[in-house]
């Protein structure tokens, strides 16, 4: 709406934009009988551009070609090496250039991304700013993609040593969750996704935490193929309940930021080794230790959290953790959270609060405490 | 809003985002008594990052420093060479890196951009994706910035030889229109903005067209400093009336796309010479010729349009115009307009329509016609 003041000396423009997207669980997404992948913003159309993790290319190309051929749609593939160290402006540019060469309609020929969380983030960002926004369908193939990246509207690439420094809030019209990809997923990438599930359990879902305590080892060994239905449903539901009312982060106190205060710095300092969920797991341990140091979280609860992380084959500590680096992380997050720490800390398992008064000394103490607990777990492992 | 289906097999997420921004005409924006530049999304704060056209840096730095010093705010400057050929990913990256070094709060320390349309577009894009969006205040210093770039929410950079290929729809919270910058504006940059004003007149405002016929030479010679009040008000009002109901281009039939079908290609093919408004002027002439060839626009109206462009010291033709290149432009715009040409063409002065059936032959004929008319104007000039 346009409001012009009487003397035509000023104008106010207001509008609302509707965001509307689907998350759908199916099996066999590339079975031609599933028509989900044909979804477009408008009419069916005749061209598709498919960006796929290069590690999955050989495995799925025939099925995808057959899928689109059955539906009279031509497609082109762009295999991309989708590790954290490639989540940068060069890969972004490469994808945009390939899009230029292929040529797609802005609205009715959605690009399709098939891959893990890293690739979903990159392509989501391409989709949000190529021609100021084109349609996109996301097909996560990792647990991290499935219970995290494909659920929200955050896109991004790393830049200048900072994680996701450049990005957007931009919804992909459709996100298709198909667990059959997990069959060929390396165990480490199953474990990686578990980091984000534990996060949700600690901050808002004690019931989910109990389920994890009982079943997580079984689920990981089975790669969630026939197990863990309830865990995945609860994790998705929990995550969406947190994201949906605050899609654009108008409220900067976000429970889902738990595990995301120190992790970004660790990831960027060990980019070729550490996966996102692993960094989140370490951050969960450190933040929970900090919560104990602040007198918020009881020791037995802290131990339970660290034990679950450890039982889930996730790391609880990282050699690059120093008070100085962790303090830098807090300062960086303070800018990102507009001047306040807004650090989510668990109160008990299943409930969290926000604090703004963490001091350097407390970070030092939390690190010492965690180092101690992690060392004990390590020697217990060695004695087994 | 989150809607979970009964079997928890699918989720629908819907939300609305509110867009709300101001366009305000004032004089002496850097006079400390004007508090507009202190506007923030939230509280007043203590740091500002000012990106300024390097050509304006020496002229205004003392006033800006004094302005912020008076209000107890520290600021840092980043002078940028803001020509079309620098509107690229390198300048984008450079600005982001400088922002990393300086450090600003995400919401309450808006970056400020002082410059012409090119710089407003670049910095608008930085603001939309740095940390997935930071606050921004825009201060246009050219006529093009004043009546075009600062009014809408489109941001962007050129990429891979395509104009504004990468960008976003992202509102700057405040856009401050201050005509005193025109005093030091080169005449060519005044004329440049007139291209967009003529566009608006042709497609929707016969009254504005008449005013331009009468006054444009005087206004250009005076740089709109004491003249052309009515013209500027009408142009801003016309533009905002077109933009406000369709901020995100959900409707791809946009009257304001008049003059923007062939111009982008011309600009990119002559990037170091042609200004945006000059390319738009040539496109207006070519599109209007096409409208005559299609039997839509009468010859006398076409002549009036071309005469006004010529009288305004704007070009009416360009040596790089060939049928092949112009046909490429139409094909490119067809992708951008999702599969249809949706070409705005004037019916009479002040009224336009959209066509989807332009043929290659018609483009050839329109070029020949325009070449002829432009040649006549040229020889008339020489005879004077």
What percentage of chain A exceeds 90 in pLDDT?
Answer: 92
Stretch A37-66: mean pLDDT:
86
Q: Which residues contact A35 (CB under 8 A, 6 or more apart)?
A: A71
Give the pLDDT confidence score for residue A357 in this predicted structure.
Answer: 97
Confidence label for A338 from pLDDT (cuts 50, 70 and 90): very high
Which residues face B140 on adjacent strands?
Answer: B115
> The pTM is what?
0.96
Q: With an 8 Å Cβ cutoff, are B24 and A10 in contact?
A: yes
Tens-place pLDDT, residues B225-271: 999 999 999 999 999 999 999 999 999 999 999 999 999 999 999 99
Give the pLDDT confidence score for residue A1 in this predicted structure.
Answer: 93
Burial class (CB in 10 A: 0-12, 13-18, 19+), A101: exposed
Instruction: Find, in chain A, the residue whose alpha carbon is nearest to that of B15.
Output: A19
Stretch A273-293: mean pLDDT:
98
Give the pLDDT confidence score for residue B166 in this predicted structure.
Answer: 98
Stretch A309-315: mean pLDDT:
98
Using DSSP's 3-state secondary structure scheme, residue B349 falls into coil
Which residues in chain A touch residue B130, judged by CB atoms under 8 angstroms apart?
Answer: 165-166
Which alpha helices (DSSP H) does chain B contain, by range?
54-70, 89-102, 117-129, 143-144, 187-204, 206-222, 229-243, 263-269, 276-293, 299-311, 323-336, 360-383
Q: With an 8 Å Cβ cutoff, are B168 and A129 in contact?
A: yes
**Inter-CA distances, B307 with A242, A246, B213, B281, B283, Å:** 60, 54, 9, 11, 14
* Whole-number Å distance between alpha carbons of B56 and B120: 14
Give the pLDDT confidence score for residue B382 in this predicted structure.
Answer: 82
> Do the bridges between strand B136-140 and strand B174-178 make them parallel or antiparallel, or are there none, so unpaired?
parallel
Q: Known catalytic residue: B17?
A: no
Taking only the tens of pLDDT, chain B with its 384 residues reads 999 887 768 999 999 999 999 999 999 999 999 989 987 655 556 899 999 999 999 999 999 999 999 999 999 999 999 999 999 999 999 999 999 999 999 999 999 999 999 999 999 999 999 999 999 999 999 999 999 999 999 999 999 999 999 999 999 999 999 999 999 999 999 999 999 999 999 999 999 999 999 999 999 999 999 999 999 999 999 999 999 999 999 999 999 999 999 999 999 999 999 999 999 999 999 999 999 999 999 999 999 999 999 999 999 999 999 999 999 999 999 999 999 999 999 999 999 999 999 999 999 999 999 999 999 998 888 877
Both structure tokens of B5: 């289906």
Q: Which residue has the tokens 């159309």?
A: A45
CA distance A106 to chain B (A): 5
Q: Which residues contact A206 (CB under 8 A, 6 or more apart)?
A: A348, A349, A350, A351
Q: With an 8 Å Cβ cutoff, are A1 and B156 in contact?
A: no
Stretch A35-43: mean pLDDT:
73
Compute the mean pLDDT over every residue in chain A, rounded to the nearest whole number: 95
Which residues in chain A touch residue B241, judged by CB atoms under 8 angstroms apart?
Answer: 2
Long-range contacts of A97-101 (CB under 8 A, 24+ apart): A97/B160, A98/A49, A99/A49, A99/A126, A99/A130, A100/B160, A100/B162, A100/B165
Annotated catalytic residue: which of B87, B154, B199, B333? B154
Give the pLDDT confidence score for residue B44 in this predicted structure.
Answer: 56
Which residues in chain A touch residue B18, judged by CB atoms under 8 angstroms apart?
Answer: 14-16
Tens-place pLDDT, residues A249-271: 999 999 999 999 999 999 999 99
Give the pLDDT confidence score for residue A45 in this predicted structure.
Answer: 60
* Whole-number Å distance between alpha carbons of A153 and A167: 10
Point out the residue among A237, A247, A337 whose CB comes nearest to the CB of B8: A237
Q: With an 8 Å Cβ cutoff, are A131 and B18 in contact?
A: no
Contact map slice: B 69-88 vs A, CB within 8 A: none
A10 touches chain B (CB under 8 A): yes
Q: Which helix (H) or strand (E) holds A166?
A: strand A162-169
Both structure tokens of B32: 């400390």
Instruction: Find, in chain B, the residue whose alpha carbon is nearest to that of A100.
Output: B160
* Whole-number Å distance between alpha carbons of B138 and B224: 20
Which residues in chain A touch residue B249, judged by CB atoms under 8 angstroms apart?
Answer: 132
* Whole-number Å distance between alpha carbons of B123 and B137: 10
Instruction: Find, in chain A, the residue whose alpha carbon is nearest to that of B126.
Output: A166
Which residues face B23 on adjacent strands?
Answer: A11, B175
CA distance A377 to chain B (A): 37
Confidence label for A46 from pLDDT (cuts 50, 70 and 90): confident
* Whole-number Å distance between alpha carbons of A262 and A246: 22
Which residues in chain B touch residue A241, judged by CB atoms under 8 angstroms apart?
Answer: 2
Q: With an 8 Å Cβ cutoff, are B156 and A132 in contact?
A: yes
């Amino acid at each position: 709406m346009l409001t012009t003041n009487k003397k035509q000396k000023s104008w106010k423009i207001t509008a609302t934009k509707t965001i509307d997207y689907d998350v759908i669980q199916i099996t066999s997404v590339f079975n031609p009988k599933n028509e989900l992948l044909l979804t477009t913003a408008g009419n069916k159309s005749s061209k598709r551009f498919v960006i796929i993790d290069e590690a999955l290319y050989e495995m799925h190309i025939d099925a995808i070609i057959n899928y689109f051929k059955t539906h009279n749609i031509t497609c082109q593939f762009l295999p991309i090496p989708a590790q954290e160290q490639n989540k940068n402006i060069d890969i972004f540019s490469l994808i945009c250039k390939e899009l230029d060469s292929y040529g797609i309609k802005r609205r009715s020929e959605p690009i399709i991304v098939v891959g893990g969380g890293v690739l979903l983030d990159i392509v989501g960002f391409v989709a949000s700013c190529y021609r100021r926004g084109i349609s996109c369908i996301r097909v996560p193939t990792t647990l991290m993609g499935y219970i995290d990246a494909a659920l929200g509207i955050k896109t991004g690439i790393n830049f200048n040593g900072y994680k996701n420094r450049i990005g957007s809030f931009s919804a992909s019209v459709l996100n298709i969750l198909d667990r059959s990809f997990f069959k060929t997923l390396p165990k480490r990438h199953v474990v990686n996704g578990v980091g984000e599930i534990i996060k949700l359990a600690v901050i808002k879902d004690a019931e989910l935490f109990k389920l994890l305590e009982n079943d997580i080892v079984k689920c990981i060994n089975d790669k969630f193929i026939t197990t863990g239905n309830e865990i995945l449903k609860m994790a998705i539901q929990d995550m969406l309940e947190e994201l949906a009312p605050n899609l654009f982060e108008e409220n900067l106190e976000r429970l889902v930021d738990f595990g995301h205060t120190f992790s970004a710095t660790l990831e960027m300092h060990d980019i070729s080794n550490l996966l996102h969920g692993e960094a989140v797991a370490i951050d969960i341990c450190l933040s929970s230790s900090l919560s104990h140091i602040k007198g918020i979280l009881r020791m037995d609860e802290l131990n339970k959290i660290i034990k679950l992380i450890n039982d889930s084959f996730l790391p609880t500590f990282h050699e690059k953790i120093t008070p100085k680096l962790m303090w830098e992380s807090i300062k960086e997050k303070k800018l990102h959270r507009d001047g306040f720490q807004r650090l989510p800390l668990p109160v008990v398992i299943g409930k969290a609060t926000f604090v703004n008064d963490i001091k350097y000394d407390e970070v030092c103490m939390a690190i010492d405490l965690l180092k101690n607990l992690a060392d004990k777990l390590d020697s217990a492992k060695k004695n087994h």
